[in-house]
Amino acid sequence: MTETTQSKTLRQSMMQLHTWAGLPLGWMFFFIFVMGAISFYHTEITFWMQPETHRARPSDQGVDKAMAVLQREALPAGPWMIGLSNERTPYLSAMWQDSSAAPPGGGHRGGMKRVIIDPSTGDTIDTRQTAGGGFLYRLHVNLFGLDRMTGMTLIAIITLVMFLVLISGLFIHPKIFKDFFLFRPGREKLSWRDAHNATAVLSYPFHVVITLSGLLLLCPAVMEPAIRANFGADTRSFIMASRGATIPAAGPQAAAPADKSSSEERSRQRDRNTRPNGDTGLAKERQGAETENTARQQHLGDTAPSAEKPDIQLSALSPLLKAAAQKWPQGAGTVTINNPTGPNPTVELRQKRPEVLRGGGGATEKMVFDGISGRLLNIVERTPPSATLSAWQTLTAIHRGHFAGPLARFLLFASGLCGAAMVASGLVIWTLNRKKRVNSDGQTPFTHRLVDSLNITFIPGMFIAIASFLAGSRLIPVDFAQRVTREQQIFFWTWGICLVHALVRGNKKKAWVEQFVAAGTLFVLLPVVNAVTGGSNLFSSLANSRWSLVGFELIVLILGASFLVTAKKIIRYTPSAPHTSPEMALASESAAIVKNTRSLE
């Protein structure tokens, strides 16, 4: 077999792999790329969906006001935790261990009670319950309606196939870098192929890195037996080891009860998450949790919780934050007050995650202060990771965007959408290649019509569902009993309507136009919905430097405008006549003359 024949055979094999691995899972590739791109802004999405927080203003004294809230409302045993405001969220989060009912402004997760605080006033903010950007992020990580490990395993399989499709794409385009600069508008299939090549080459390194790092992040799902063989049931130690953190040593006598208590607590929490509301067994569990909390307080040297907390004057936190800012250029990210009403309270300041790739996904340093005098007790430095761990942290930091500042985050978002465009153009090319195939009755095969309908449902239809989810979260009454469930229902109901519309609409061109118009209109109206439902409008956000809101609304306006422009181009599009070279035209004319001459004879 000659080298040329081998090359053609390899290319044909890769073409079959690229086509038949890419088509069945192509819609899932598009889904994962879009949800992954959106997940880079999941914090801003949650902020936008809770308009009560829009008017919070950062303040240097906000952390001391948060401490006053904790001293007034939190259980005395602690620990107390404060999430500091940043450029993405201007409010403070105060959290403490609690087994009672969820607070009005926070939620109940992992036995933690959480309230939102305006740093400028010290007032707690009563925020509405919402699925937030975390819902879209979880769709990207482990789908919906599945347990975590099953969902992550499926995503891992899809990601592995995506990696194979990316690699095979290099083999079927021997002149891919040359073709990157080639664009032939108005040529239907050729135009889509040029768009597919351009979006593939433009961010190909990103696609490979993001897919490979995604597989690394999904290792806990697909390599659970190996993790259990090394760490047993202690998943916390595995997480700490993967981040390069020091695993605290514990004696065998102390470790066993702690592991048992932690396991029982996780089991109770899983039961609470899956048990329907109103279960009579919940009261008994809360009573048991309160007993356990009392024992924990006695272990810390504190008395049982009471309405009156011991009058202990804790150190102001703002000077400690200034000391941390002198050591860490980016400052502190979180504050933890251990044993706040006991004999030896301490304050731990955790370093804010640096906006650099190196260490962007690993453990951070912390400073420990005396809780009463404010004296620095210890600095726990970050243990330098090994070369293997450093590479793992760097790749996973890229995937999660932990290191990213505003510009880098936008570039990651744009690259994710570029990947989605690459997948979408590939799906459209498949249908165009088979556009002229008809059955004996003159009808397009059902499978081809089904693929076209699914393309419409996933490409513009999914954006319609996302916009409906965002708008619906602002239009559902604040006091609605199950707001989170209803927000999720709006997403899937809307997406289902898009599927039905794409299937029953006979004219697929009109279906594309109608869904792109709907997606564009909804995205353009999101800032209006924000303004009329109590949020900070775009002009107010600009005037008050609320850049996370400004950035979010500018992005949705750009997306909405691009969808409307796409719909306009589809309406105006008419396939051009096949391109004919002068040589081909001359040959056709000669053939016609010969044919006419023979007919005369």
- Kindly write down the DSSP assignment for every residue of 245-300, as one continuous string: PPPPP--HHHHHHHHHHHHHHHHHHHHHHHSPTT-THHHHHHHHHHHHHHHHHHHT
Is 11 strand, coil or helix? helix
The H-or-E segment that residue 355 falls in is none
**Predicted local distance difference test score (pLDDT) of residue 113:** 87
Which DSSP string corresponds to 97-111?
E--SPPPTTS-EETT
What confidence category does residue 246 fall into, taking pLDDT thresholds of 50, 70 and 90? low
What confidence category does residue 436 fall into, taking pLDDT thresholds of 50, 70 and 90? low
Higher pLDDT, 429 or 336: 336
The stretch 516-539 carries a mean pLDDT of 95
User: Is the confidence at residue 550, as pLDDT, over 60?
Assistant: yes
The pair of three-digit structure tokens given for residue 267, joined into one six-digit string:
């089991």
- For residues 448 and 432, what is the distance between their CA atoms, to the nearest angstrom? 10
Distances, alpha carbon 42 to alpha carbons 145, 178, 327, 363, 485, in Å: 20, 37, 30, 22, 18
**Predicted local distance difference test score (pLDDT) of residue 282:** 31
What is the pTM assigned to this prediction?
A: 0.79
The pair of three-digit structure tokens given for residue 253, joined into one six-digit string:
């006598």
526-556 as b/e, with b when 16 or more CB fall inside 10 Å? Answer: bbebbbeeebbbbeebeeeebebbbbbbebb
- For residues 31 and 155, what is the distance between their CA atoms, to the nearest angstrom? 11
State which of 192-196, 292-296, 331-335 shows the largest mean pLDDT: 331-335
Q: Which amino acid is at 218?
A: L
Higher pLDDT, 218 or 171: 218
pLDDT digits (tens, 9 = 90+) for 338-397: 988 888 899 999 988 776 666 555 667 899 999 999 999 998 887 777 787 788 888 888
- For residues 341 and 75, what is the distance between their CA atoms, to the nearest angstrom? 10
Bond preceding residue 575 cis, omega within 30 of 0: no
The closest alpha carbon to 335, from 53, 60, 63, belongs to 63
Pairing of strands 124-125, 92-97: unpaired
Crossing angle of the two packed helices 204-217 and 387-400, in degrees rounded to 10: 110
Distances, alpha carbon 96 to alpha carbons 74, 100, 301, 313, 351, in Å: 6, 11, 18, 19, 20
Is 193 strand, coil or helix? helix
Is 124 strand, coil or helix? strand
What confidence category does residue 478 fall into, taking pLDDT thresholds of 50, 70 and 90? very high
